[in-house]
Structure 1
Amino acid sequence: MLRIAVFTAIGLLLVGAGAAGYAYWKLNGNIRSVDIDTQLGPGRPPASVGGAFNILLLGSDSRAGANHSLAGGAVGDTARSDTAMVVHVNREHTTASVISIPRDTLVARPACTAPDGTSTPALRSAMFNSAYEVGGPACAVKTTEQLTGMRMDHFVEVDFAGFAGLIDAIGGVDVTTTVDISDQDSGLHLAAGNHHLSGTQALAFVRTRHGVGNGSDLGRIELQQQMVKSIMKQIGALGLTSNPAHLWSIADKLTKSMTTDSELASVSALVGLANTLKGIGPDQMTMVTLPVVSAPSDPNRVVPRTPQAGQLWAALQADGAVPQSVVSIQPSNPADSTPSPSTGTATRTPGGATRSPVGAAGRE
Structure 2
Amino acid sequence: MGVRGRKPERKRGRGIRKHNRKRWIIAISVSVVVLLVGGAGAIYLKLNANIATFDSAGLSKNRPAEADADANGNKAVNVLLIGSDTRAGDNGKLGGSASGAIGRSDTTILLHVYPDHKHAVGISIPRDSLVDIPPCLLPDGKWSLDQPSAMFNSAFSMGNTEKGNPACTQNTIEKLSGLRVDHTMVVDFEGFASMTSAVHGVEVCVPNDIYQGDMNPNLGHKGKIVLKAGMQNLQGQQALDYVRVRHGVGDNSDVGRMLRQQAFLSALISKVKGQGMDPTTLLPLANAATKSLTVDPGLGSAAKLMSFGLSLKGIDLKNIQFITAPWKYTGARIDLVHPDVDDLFAELRADRTLQGVNASGKTAAPKPSPSATVDGTGIMVSVYNGTTTGGLAGKAADMLKADNFNVMNSTNAKTRDHTVTRIEYGTGAGAKTQADTVAKLFPGAELVQLDTSGVNVVLGADYAAVAAKGGTASATPKPLPTDLSKQARSADADPCSKLSYG
> For this structure pair, what is the TM-score category when the shorter chain's length is used for normalisation?
0.7 to 0.9
Higher Rg: 2
Q: What residue identity is the alignment partner of 1:196?
A: N
Query: Which structure: greater helix fraction?
Result: 1
Native 8 Å contact 2:58 2:136 kept in 1: no
- 1:15-34 paired onto structure 2 within 5 Å: 15-19=38-42, 23-34=43-54
State the Cα deviation string for residues 61-119 of structure 1 (Å, max 9, x = none).
11112211324695313222110101111111110011111111011111212345364
Find the aligned partners of 2:92 and 2:260 in 1 and give their Cα distance. Answer: 23
**1:304-323 mapped onto 2 (5 Å cutoff):** 304-322=336-354, 323=479
Between 1:159-168 and 1:206-215, the stretch displaced more is 206-215
Match of 1:271 in 2: 306
**Where does residue 102 of structure 1 map in the other structure?**
126
State the 1:42 CA deviation. Answer: 2.8
The percentage of counterpart residues that share the same residue type is: 40
TM alignment of 1:119-268, pairs within 5 A:
119-135=143-159, 136-182=165-211, 183-185=214-216, 189-241=226-278, 244-268=279-303
Work out whether residues 68 and 75 of structure 1, in 8 Å CA contact, stay in contact via their aligned partners in 2.
no
C-alpha displacement at 1:306, in angstroms? 2.3
Higher relative contact order (CA 8 A, sep 6+): 1
What is the CA distance between 1:7 and its match in structure 2? Answer: 4.4
Query: Which amino acid in 2 is paired with 1:155?
Result: T
TM-score (norm 1): 0.83
Q: Is the 8 A contact 1:164 1:203 kept in 2?
A: no
12 and 287 in structure 1: CA distance in 2 versus 1, 3 angstrom threshold: closer
1:14-53 correspondence runs (5 A): 15-19=38-42, 23-36=43-56, 38-50=57-69, 51-53=75-77
8 Å Cα contact 1:173/1:234 also seen in 2: yes
Q: Which digits, 9 at most, give the CA deviation of each residue in 1:294-350, with x for residues without a partner?
A: 11xx2x3111112211110111111111254122467996744xxxxxxxxxxxx55
CA deviations on 1:136-172 (whole Å, 9 max, x unpaired) are 1000101111111111111012211223321111111
Q: What amino acid is aligned across from residue 76 of structure 1 in structure 2?
A: G
Matched position secondary structure for 2:155: helix
Question: 3-state SS of the aligned residue for 1:160?
Answer: coil
Instruction: Please say if residues 150 and 317 of structure 1, whose CA atoms lie closer than 8 Å, have aligned partners that are also in contact.
Output: yes
Q: Would you say how many aligned residue pairs link Structure 1 and Structure 2?
A: 328
Is the contact made by 2:58 and 2:168 (CA closer than 8 Å) also made in structure 1? no
SS at match of 2:61: coil
- Indicate the RMSD between aligned Cα atoms, in angstroms: 2.5
Return the offset for 1:48.
2.1
Describe the SS at the equivalent of 2:150: strand
Offset, 1:134:
1.0
Q: Which amino acid is the alignment partner of residue 279 of structure 1? A: G
SS of residue in 2 equivalent to 1:59: strand
Indicate yes or no: 2:39 matched with 1:4.
no
Corresponding position: 1:64 with 2:88: yes
Distance in 1 of aligned mates of 2:158 and 2:54: 16
Contact 2:60 2:171 in 1 (8 A): no
Please report how far the alpha carbon of residue 49 of structure 1 lies from its aligned counterpart in structure 2 after TM superposition: 2.2
**Aligned residue identity for 2:304:** A
Post-superposition shift, 1:217? Answer: 1.6
The one-letter amino acid paired with 2:351 is: D
Letter matched to residue 156 of structure 1: M
Task: Tell me the equivalent position of 1:359.
Answer: none
Tell me if the contact between 1:71 and 1:207 (Cα under 8 Å) persists in the aligned partners.
Answer: no
Label 1:155 to 1:328 Cα distance change in 2 as closer, same or farther (>3 A).
Answer: same
1:327 aligns with 2:485: yes
Structure 1 residues 27-58: Cα deviation after superposition (integer angstroms, max 9, x where no partner): 1121011132x322531111222211111111
1:264–1:270 Cα contact (<8 Å) kept: yes
Amino acid corresponding to residue 199 of structure 2 in structure 1: I
Partners of 2:346 and 2:276 in 1: how far apart? 39
* Residue identity matched to 1:117: G
Aligned partner of residue 25 in structure 1, secondary structure: helix
In structure 2, stretches of 5+ residues that fail to align are: 1-23, 70-74, 160-164, 220-224, 355-478, 490-495
* Structure 2 CA distance for partners of 1:66 and 1:276, relative to 1, 3 Å: same
Residues of 2 paired with 1:272 and 1:152: CA distance? 18
User: Hey, what's the Cα distance between the residues in 2 that align with 1:220 and 1:18?
Assistant: 38
